[in-house]
Amino acid sequence: MAQLIAANWKMYKTMAEATATATALAERLQGRIPSHREVLVCPVFVHLAALAPILRDAGIALGAQDVYPADEGAFTGEVSPKQLQDVGCTHVLVGHSERRHILGEADALIAAKTRVALERGLAVVLCIGETLTERRSLQLEAVLFRQVSSALTDLPAAVTERLIVAYEPVWAIGTGEVATLEDIDAAHGLVRRMLRDCLGASAAAVRILYGGSVKPDNAGAILQLDTVDGVLVGGASLDAESFARIVLA
C-alpha cells in the first residue's frame, strides 16, 4: 500500500501565509510525488476551501483537523463530515493528543467521531499515543489498547478501508525529541496486533503512521521501517521546502 505523508498545520498561518505555503508546496511537488506515496495537508477550517484547488491540482489531498459526529444541528462552533466534504476534504484527523489532553476529549467522543466520519465517506486518521508519565510507568500497552479498542470495537468492516492510525508518542510532539527506530518499530508492531484483534482480517489494509518531531533529516530512516506506513508531520510541515523534502525522502 502507498505510504501516506501527512501535514498537520495546527493553528498556524493567516490566509495569505497558508495560500503561499500551499502554492509553494504544489510547485515543488507537481509531477514529483513518488508512485508509492500519497500526500495530505490538514490546515485550519477557515483555510480549507481556499486551499482545495491549489492542492488538488498538484495531486495533494486535503484534510481537516477535526470533525463533529453529526450531519447538522445546533452545535455551535462545530463542523460536520458533510460540510468538510463540501469544501473538498477527503480526510480528517481524529483524537489528536492536543484535543485529548488540552481540550479534554474523551474516548467515547473520539469513537463517535471516528465512526460517523468513516460512515460518511471520509478517511480518518485516528491519532493515538502515550504521555511520558504513562510510558515511564509501563502503561504504554494499556494506553494504546484503550485508545484503539474504544475507537474501533464493533466498527463495520465496510468502512475500515478508509481507516488510518497515527501513533504519536505525546512526549515527542513538538519537543524535538523523537522515539528511537527501535521504539517506533515496537510500538507499531503492538498497534498492528491490536488492530487485528479489533478488526480481524480487514486490519491488514489499515496504514499506521508515525508522528512526533518528524523532520527531513530523520524521515527517511523512519519511512524505511517495515512497520511504518507513513508519517504525520507537525512543525516541519509548515515550511514548503521542508515538507517537500520529507515527501521525497
Is 101 one of the catalytic residues? no
Q: Which of 98, 105, 130, 168 is catalytic?
A: 168
Of 148, 224, 221, 212, the C-alpha closest to 6 is: 212
Joined grid coordinates for residue 159: 468502512
Residue 65 CB neighbours (<10 A)? 21
Could you tell me where the beta strands, DSSP code E, fall in 133-192?
163-167
Joined grid coordinates for residue 107: 474516548
Q: Are strands 207-211 and 163-167 parallel, antiparallel or unpaired?
A: parallel
Q: 44 and 13 in contact (C-beta within 8 Å)?
A: yes
Q: 178 and 217 in contact (C-beta within 8 Å)?
A: no
Is 182 one of the catalytic residues? no
Q: Which of 91, 96, 105, 130 is catalytic?
A: 96
Residues carrying an active site annotation: 96, 168
